[in-house]
């Protein structure tokens, strides 16, 4: 049986005991949820803004797995337990929806950059889009892409080899983005968009940084004011639109739109509704898949090497595994996959997941008003001592077959959960495992600056100021 939700003061990583208020979901009537006062919440703003993840860990230690805080127009319920993840994303999927609009109806968060797409819609509008995009991510189709992934990985190895031979340091974050952009461009959109990889990637990065800052700001200036940040955002959206729409136009005028995702989006008709995607809707799906398809995997690979450079035992076992098989078997290595899965636990690419209550609901047994926001702190759930043997240590054995079978399925949710489970989860796992194994087989890395690096949180989690390394060929 999973540990009950705790609302007493806690000190991770020590195991926490429940306070006997009841099992998750038990109705608690008018009992007030734990949480800081408004004054205490305001007083901690400066410290919280310096390190949001540590701020949520402080709240977890102080108030428990579920606590409540009112802050401006935000009515926040902060969740750090797998049962709460299930309650919001699975059992409550009709009551809790994505946060895409402000109370006055203005676009909010990812919708500002990506428009209406798989990451920003719910209900029937989401379902027919999912049906159209889903065939591109069937497992057999993804496995057929491994050859292209290897080709892109070989180009990455060539660049790393040049850096090693020239004794030149590199930013590993930049190189990981380069190879994952190459892969998503060539596997999903063909060489035409791949040639615009840097342009699209930079535009997506700038746009997502902007919406992340606005999402977290206490007070935002109107988006129409020409601030430097707003101008950069506008330029990024213009670059993104120009690159994507030009490719849509050229595909529509060709004899065949192609057999990749872009061609499928142009030709697809939903069998249940008879609807086809407009150019604007195709643009939104391309931006969504491209943005989500390279950023998170690049971050995860960078964090994997961040941890491997500090974990000689893990690195030695990984190198032993990759050295024992032929190159064409690297995508299916057991321990390499465990290392990548543990990276997604220890440094989740999207460490916070939010949903808004569309109606009066209950959460953890408490009454929740319409418009309340559930913040699922994935970073805390992934370090919950009730579900992880060594929550504060990078420990790939967390993902041995035996450990995975015994663990609550919602204790590890780097790709979300429920109907909105990330459509590209299998793609990311194959890609991440393969690239990690290819790198470990050929190169070793030494950090230029002391580790650990501080994390920087926008929409995704990445090392602050990148991660410069020396590259050395393995002898």
Q: Which pLDDT tens digit goes with each residue over 353-401? A: 999 999 999 999 999 999 999 999 999 999 999 999 999 999 999 999 9
Residue 246 maps to a domain: yes
Residue 148 maps to a domain: yes
Q: Where are the beta strands (DSSP E) in 31-164?
A: 66-71, 74-79, 96-97
Give the separation between CA 167 and CA 475, rounded to whole angstroms: 15
What's the CATH number where 341 sits? 1.10.630.10
- The structure's pTM equals 0.90
Residue 224 maps to a domain: yes
Neighbours of 451 (CB within 10 A): 11
Give the separation between CA 82 and CA 90, rounded to whole angstroms: 11
Q: Would you say 455 and 57 are in contact if contact means Cβ atoms under 8 Å apart?
A: no
As a whole number, the mean pLDDT across the chain is 88
Residue 378 maps to a domain: no
Residue 335 maps to a domain: yes
CA–CA distances in Å: residue 463 to residues 94, 287, 299, 344, 356: 35, 24, 8, 14, 29
Domain residues for 293?
103-350+414-473
Q: What is the mean pLDDT of each run of 10 residues along the chain (475 residues)?
A: 53 39 43 82 80 92 94 87 97 91 71 88 90 88 92 97 97 94 86 68 84 76 83 91 90 86 89 91 89 87 98 98 93 96 96 94 94 96 97 98 97 95 93 98 97 88 94 92
Beta bridge partners of 463: 455
Q: How many domains does the chain have?
A: 1
Residue 210 maps to a domain: yes
Residue 368 DSSP code:
E
Residue 295 maps to a domain: yes
Beta bridge partners of 352: 377
Q: Which pLDDT tens digit goes with each residue over 418-474? A: 999 999 999 999 999 999 999 999 999 999 999 999 998 877 899 998 999 999 999
Burial class (CB in 10 A: 0-12, 13-18, 19+), 20: exposed
Beta bridge partners of 67: 78
Residue 293 maps to a domain: yes
Collect contacts of 355-360 with beta carbons under 8 A, ≥24 apart. 355/88, 355/89, 355/96, 355/97, 355/98, 355/99, 356/96, 356/97, 356/98, 356/99, 357/95, 357/96, 358/94, 358/95, 358/96, 358/97, 359/95
Pick the closest to residue 292 from 147, 133, 402 (CA basis): 133
């Amino acid at each position: 049986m999973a540990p009950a939700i705790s609302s007493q003061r806690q000190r991770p990583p020590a195991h926490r005991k429940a306070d006997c208020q009841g099992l998750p979901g038990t109705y608690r009537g008018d009992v007030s949820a734990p949480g800081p006062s408004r004054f205490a919440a305001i007083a901690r703003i400066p410290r919280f803004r310096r390190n949001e993840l540590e701020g949520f860990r402080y709240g977890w230690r102080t108030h428990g797995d579920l606590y409540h805080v009112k802050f401006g127009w935000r009515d926040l319920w902060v969740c750090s337990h797998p049962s709460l993840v299930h309650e919001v994303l699975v059992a409550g999927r009709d009551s809790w929806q994505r946060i895409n609009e402000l109370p006055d109806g203005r676009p909010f968060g990812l919708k500002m950059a990506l428009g209406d797409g798989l990451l920003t819609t719910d209900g029937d509008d989401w379902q027919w889009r999912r049906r159209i995009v889903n065939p591109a991510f069937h497992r057999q189709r993804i496995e057929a892409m491994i050859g292209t992934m290897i080709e892109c990985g070989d180009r990455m190895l060539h660049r790393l080899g040049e850096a090693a031979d020239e004794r030149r340091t590199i930013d590993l974050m930049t190189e990981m983005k380069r190879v994952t952009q190459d892969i998503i461009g060539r596997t999903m959109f063909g060489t035409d968009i791949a040639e615009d990889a840097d342009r699209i990637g930079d535009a997506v990065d700038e746009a997502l940084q902007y919406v992340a800052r606005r999402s977290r700001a206490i007070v935002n200036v109107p988006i129409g004011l020409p601030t430097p940040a707003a101008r950069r955002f506008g330029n990024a959206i213009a670059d993104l639109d120009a690159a994507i729409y030009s490719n849509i136009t050229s595909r529509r005028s060709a004899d065949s739109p192609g057999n990749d995702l872009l061609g499928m989006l142009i030709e697809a008709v939903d069998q249940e509704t008879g609807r086809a995607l407009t150019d604007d809707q195709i643009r939104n799906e391309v931006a969504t898949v491209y943005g989500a398809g390279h950023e998170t995997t690049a971050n995860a690979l960078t964090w994997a090497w961040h941890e491997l450079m500090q974990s000689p035992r893990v690195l030695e076992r990984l190198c032993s595994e990759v050295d024992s098989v032929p190159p064409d078997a690297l995508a299916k290595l057991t321990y390499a996959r465990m290392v990548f899965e543990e990276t997604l636990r220890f440094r989740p690419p999207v460490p916070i997941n939010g949903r808004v209550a569309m109606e009066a609901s209950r959460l953890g047994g408490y009454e929740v008003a319409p418009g309340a926001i559930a913040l699922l702190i994935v970073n805390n759930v992934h370090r919950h001592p009730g579900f992880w043997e060594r929550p504060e240590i990078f420990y790939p054995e967390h993902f041995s077959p035996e450990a995975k079978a015994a663990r609550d399925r919602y204790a590890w949710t780097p790709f979300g959960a429920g109907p909105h489970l990330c459509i590209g989860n299998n793609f990311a796992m194959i890609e991440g495992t393969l690239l990690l194994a290819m790198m470990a087989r050929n190169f070793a890395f030494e950090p230029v600056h002391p580790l650990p690096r501080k994390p920087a949180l926008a929409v995704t989690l990445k090392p602050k100021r990148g991660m410069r390394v020396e590259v050395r060929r393995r002898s």
